[in-house]
Amino acid sequence: MRTAYTSDQIRTAERALMATVPEGTLMRRAATGLSVVCAGLLPGVYGSRVVLLVGSGDNGGDALYAGARLARRGARVEAILAGSRTHAGGLAALLDAGGRTAGTDVIERADLIVDGLVGIGGAGELREPYRTLALAAGAAPGLVVAVDVPSGVDASTGRVDGEAVRAQLTVTFGACKNGLLVDPGRSFCGPVELVDIGLGPYLPDPDVASLTDDDVADLLPRPEAESDKYRRGVLGIVAGSDRFTGAAVLAVGGAIRAGAGLVRFASAETAVRQVRNRWPEAITTVLDGPSVAEVGRVQAWVLGPGMGTGEEAVALARAVLATDVPVLVDADGLTILANDRSLLRRSAPTVLTPHAGELSRLLDVPRERIEAARMEHVRRAVAELGAIVLLKGSTTLIAEQDRPVRVNTTGTPWLATGGTGDVLSGIAGTLLSGGLSGYDAVSCAAHLHGLAAQAASTGISGGHGPIAAMDVATMLPQVIRSL
């Protein structure tokens, strides 16, 4: 499992480590790792032009010491001293190695630009001259490497207020920071290279975590010799309507392709007809009224995709939420909950899977604020709504009370197409009915969903292209086999 931490957690661990090693050890370790990564990005170190953007803090010192090592290997290293003060030891090392200070005009001629302006303690908008330097680095043709975190990105939350350095690679020290995994910050980082400086024994429980393929493989339910369809998990799905049938077909498809033991689908006659035609494996029920008693016993429910928000839909949602098994609520079901949050008062687990717009209605918060501070608002949602929450988006976050927020790192921008969320609901419902906790079920479902989308979008040439929601469902058995 990959883990990430807030700035305060990292600084506390650094202080504990520094008490056990000679002064300057951590900076030397960081600078050495940074210089090695930078050297590997250059076609040849000797004769290359390297520009350091140097701020006032230790982040600037890391850049200066790394620049000194590159200068000793023959690089032409020039430092723009942007802070009110400069790390004295780092500057002396750079000048002794043959580096020099320079004005901002050197940025456009650099092969490599090292962003050492603001470290993990930075928050809020970049001040001048940092803001202008961030813009100049973004406009220059050279590669940009961020030191620990791109300047302008809040290391603890991923929030970006105003301009930020857009790096092609981020070299971070000791442990990953939350803001490197969570958008909007993640989009400024490029790939993240971790340099070990010895923090491991001093790190607390993580603030953020991300499942790996191995983690998901360990969690996924597996049938055994004595398994039957009922032991493997029976999922009930209430989705679709006479008007919206596609969501029902996709949600059922996601569940079946993810390996559900049995799917019981209930809806209006038109939606049931479509599901019967496409998925004969499902047991279907045409609903006549708000009761789900005739559907049969299930281990979990998926509620909401395409079901509408009228009076009949509300009554049906009330009936499902009154059951004593876990319920995953998506799409129209979330709109119903936003209009009546009292429906969330239930004894069994509830899982919500909103995108930012749906969460804005649930919390009565503008969507823009949620997008700007996704970590803050997914935690707020858990606390206020008493549910497990999967917040969809360019970074998918999964939160449960008193647990690390999980960040899903699989997927592709091609997932931004209609119906993929319905497939995700079906996958998560299958895992929920198979015995996983809500937290683990949606975490694994998001991981599988992303892998299936990546597999579906990969063409013969190895590139990536458009996908449809059903393509994601179709790839699920292959992805699960691969794990």
125 labeled part of a ligand binding site: yes
Q: Are 63 and 104 in the same domain?
A: yes
pLDDT tens, residue by residue, 58-89: 999 999 999 999 999 999 999 999 999 999 99
Whole-number pLDDT of residue 364: 97
Whole-number pLDDT of residue 43: 93
> Helix, strand, or coil here: 430?
helix
Whole-number pLDDT of residue 460: 56
Whole-number pLDDT of residue 119: 92
Alpha-carbon span 151 to 57, nearest angstrom? 12
Q: Give φ, ψ of 387 to 5 degrees.
A: -130, 165
Q: Are 455 and 370 in the same domain?
A: yes
Instruction: Show the tokens assigned to 317.
Output: 């949602």
58 labeled part of a ligand binding site: yes
Q: Are 376 and 461 in the same domain?
A: yes
- The count of structural domains within the chain is 2
Reported pTM: 0.91
306 labeled part of a ligand binding site: yes
Whole-number pLDDT of residue 106: 97
215 labeled part of a ligand binding site: no
392 labeled part of a ligand binding site: yes
Which residue's entry shows tokens 């939420």?
A: 321
Q: Are 243 and 122 in the same domain?
A: no
119 labeled part of a ligand binding site: yes
183 labeled part of a ligand binding site: no
**Beta strands of 66-203 (E only): which ranges?**
76-81, 100-101, 112-116, 143-147, 169-173, 176-177, 192-195
Mean of per-residue pLDDT scores for the chain: 96
Q: Are 116 and 183 in the same domain?
A: yes
Alpha-carbon span 451 to 257, nearest angstrom? 14
Q: Are 123 and 50 in the same domain?
A: yes
96 labeled part of a ligand binding site: no
**What is the CATH classification number for the domain harbouring 474?**
3.40.1190.20
210 labeled part of a ligand binding site: no
State the residue range of the domain holding 117.
2-208
Whole-number pLDDT of residue 461: 55
Q: Are 177 and 234 in the same domain?
A: no
132 labeled part of a ligand binding site: no
> Helix, strand, or coil here: 391?
strand
332 labeled part of a ligand binding site: no
Residues in the chain where the model's pLDDT stays below 50: none
Q: Are 152 and 253 in the same domain?
A: no
57 labeled part of a ligand binding site: no
261 labeled part of a ligand binding site: no
Whole-number pLDDT of residue 435: 96
122 labeled part of a ligand binding site: yes
130 labeled part of a ligand binding site: yes
Q: Are 251 and 301 in the same domain?
A: yes
395 labeled part of a ligand binding site: yes
Distance of CA 258 to the CA centre of its chain: 21
- CA-based nearest residue to 399, from 411, 387, 409, 410: 387
Of 208, 239, 271, the one marking the end of a domain is 208
Alpha-carbon span 294 to 266, nearest angstrom? 9
**What is the CATH classification number for the domain harbouring 27?**
3.40.50.10260
Q: Are 203 and 253 in the same domain?
A: no
Instruction: Compute how many other C-beta atoms are within 10 angstroms of the C-beta atom of residue 266.
Output: 27
Whole-number pLDDT of residue 361: 97
Q: Are 304 and 446 in the same domain?
A: yes
Q: Are 94 and 80 in the same domain?
A: yes
396 labeled part of a ligand binding site: yes
Q: Give φ, ψ of 256 to 5 degrees.
A: -65, -45
Whole-number pLDDT of residue 462: 66
Whole-number pLDDT of residue 11: 96
Instruction: Show the tokens assigned to 33.
Output: 């790792």
364 labeled part of a ligand binding site: no
Tell me 163's DSSP state: -
Of 149, 177, 208, the one marking the end of a domain is 208
355 labeled part of a ligand binding site: yes
Bridge partners, residue 405, by sequence: 208
Of 155, 180, 208, the one marking the end of a domain is 208
- Non-local (6+) Cβ contacts of 62 within 8 A are 27, 30, 31, 34, 90, 116, 147, 148, 173
